[in-house]
Amino acid sequence: MDAEAIRGRTVVEESREAVVVVDDSDRVLVASRRARQAIEGVREGDVLPPDVLTGERGVIPFVVPYEVDGRRERVVYLSREGDLVAYEELRSGFTAAVSHELRTPLARLLTLLETALLPGEDARPLVEQATREVEQITELIDEVLFLSELESGARVVSLGSMPVRPALEDALDELAERAARAGVTLRLECDPAIELAVRPRMLRVVARNLAENSIRYAGPDSTFTLAVEQDASGSVVLTGRDDGAGVDEAELPRLFERFYRADAARASRGTGLGLAIVKHVVTQAGGTVEARGGRGRGVEIRCAFP
The segment(s) of the chain belonging to CATH 3.30.450.20 are: 3-80
pLDDT tops 90 at residue 109: no
- Reported as a pLDDT band with limits 50, 70 and 90, residue 243 is very high
Q: For the beta carbon of residue 260, count every other beta carbon within 10 angstroms.
A: 17
Lowest mean pLDDT among 136-150, 166-180, 231-245, 277-291: 136-150
> Tell me, what's the pLDDT at 272?
64
pLDDT tops 50 at residue 265: no
pLDDT tops 60 at residue 18: yes
Question: What is the bridge-based pairing of β-strands 195-198 and 236-242?
Answer: unpaired
pLDDT tops 70 at residue 72: yes
> Tell me, what's the pLDDT at 242?
93
Rg (CA), the chain: 24
Cα–Cα distances in angstroms (integers) from residue 27 to residues 20, 43, 61, 76, 107, in the given order: 10, 9, 15, 12, 60
> Tell me, what's the pLDDT at 266?
42
Lowest mean pLDDT among 41-45, 70-74, 231-235, 237-241: 231-235
Mean of the per-residue pLDDT values of the chain: 78
* Mean pLDDT of all residues in 10-26: 79
What is the C-alpha separation between 96 and 138, in angstroms, rounded? 18
Q: Is 239 left (phi over 0), alpha (psi -120 to 50) or beta?
A: beta
The segment(s) of the chain belonging to CATH 1.10.287.130 are: 83-152
Architecture of domain 158-305: 2-Layer Sandwich (3.30)
- Reported as a pLDDT band with limits 50, 70 and 90, residue 197 is confident
CATH class of 83-152: mainly alpha
- Which pTM does this prediction carry? 0.54
The segment(s) of the chain belonging to CATH 3.30.565.10 are: 158-305
pLDDT tops 60 at residue 248: yes
The residue that leads in pLDDT, 109 or 188, is 188
> Tell me, what's the pLDDT at 183?
94
pLDDT tops 90 at residue 256: no
- Reported as a pLDDT band with limits 50, 70 and 90, residue 90 is very low
Pick the CATH number of 3-80 from 3.40.50.1370, 3.30.450.20, 3.30.930.10, 3.30.470.10: 3.30.450.20
The residue that leads in pLDDT, 303 or 254, is 303
pLDDT one-digit tens code per residue, 110-133: 888 888 888 888 888 888 888 887
% residues pLDDT > 70 (the chain): 76
Under a CB-based contact definition with an 8 Å cutoff, are residues 284 and 158 in contact?
A: yes
